[in-house]
Chains A and B, each alone.
Chain A
Amino acid sequence: GAVVSQHPSRVICKSGTSVKIECRSLDFQATTMFWYRQFPKQSLMLMATSNEGSKATYEQGVEKDKFLINHASLTLSTLTVTSAHPEDSSFYICSASRDRGGNEQYFGPGTRLTVT
């Protein structure tokens, strides 16, 4: 149990376009979902926390208008990178937690975004 999927696994887009990444909890209801960004050979940096039905809480330095997060249901959260630029190229990983306590997060396999 506690499987989280992400789609797509890899995406290449042109600079200036937008791309949407989906994160789904397949066998449990995720009250809270998290979005992380990982640069090559670096650690994961939390971008935002989203609770179902509420607006996402963004970490300091993360542009909320550029990284749009929607957590419309208990099994789906989406991250949309708007007007993508090459510097947005990164590995994006989501995680999901069964409750707002979020003491255990289940991670998705990640999405590799390349902006050309």
Chain B
Amino acid sequence: AQSVTQPDIHITVSEGASLELRCNYSYGATPYLFWYVQSPGQGLQLLLKYFSGDTLVQGIKGFEAEFKRSQSSFNLRKPSVHWSDAAEYFCAGGTFTGGGNKLTFGTGTQLKVEL
């Protein structure tokens, strides 16, 4: 079965520190991979996506993610975290089913930023 795993439920980092959020996927073929951010009571905002090609993907707000096929991972990184980055982060994988791309979401990682 297709699945996306985010091993870390909560992560706390100090403002200005680097950040890495982990994401592992299990699919029969390479899925489309996404990272979304959700602020409390809000919908999801797309940070970045990987379809094919360059395995290092740049996104908005200074985020990047690296696709590693050998590790089935798509970890999200940011070199210097800002207090406004505190939110819930979701990794998602998608496959085209003919009727639309169905996304499978990880359980999310809650990021807390200490000032």
Contacts and interface: CB of A to CB of B under 8 A. Distances in A.
Is chain B a partner of chain A in the same complex? yes
Interface of A: 4, 6, 32, 34, 41-46, 49, 51, 57, 91, 93, 95, 97, 100-110, 112
Given A42-B107, A110-B43, A57 B101 contact: no
B98 A104 contact: no
B101 A101 contact: yes
Contacts of B99: 32, 49, 51, 57, 100
Contact of B102 (A4, A6, A49): A49
Contacts of A105: 101, 103
Of the candidates A44, A106, A107, the one having the most CB atoms from chain B within 10 angstroms of its own CB is A44
Contacts, number: 70
**Residues of B in contact with A, size category:** 20 to 34
Contact of B46 (A49, A104, A110): A104
Name the prevailing secondary structure of the B interface residues: strand
17 contacts: A34-B103, A42-B107, A42-B108, A43-B90, A43-B105, A43-B107, A46-B102, A46-B103, A97-B100, A100-B98, A102-B101, A103-B32, A103-B101, A107-B45, A109-B42, A109-B43, A110-B41
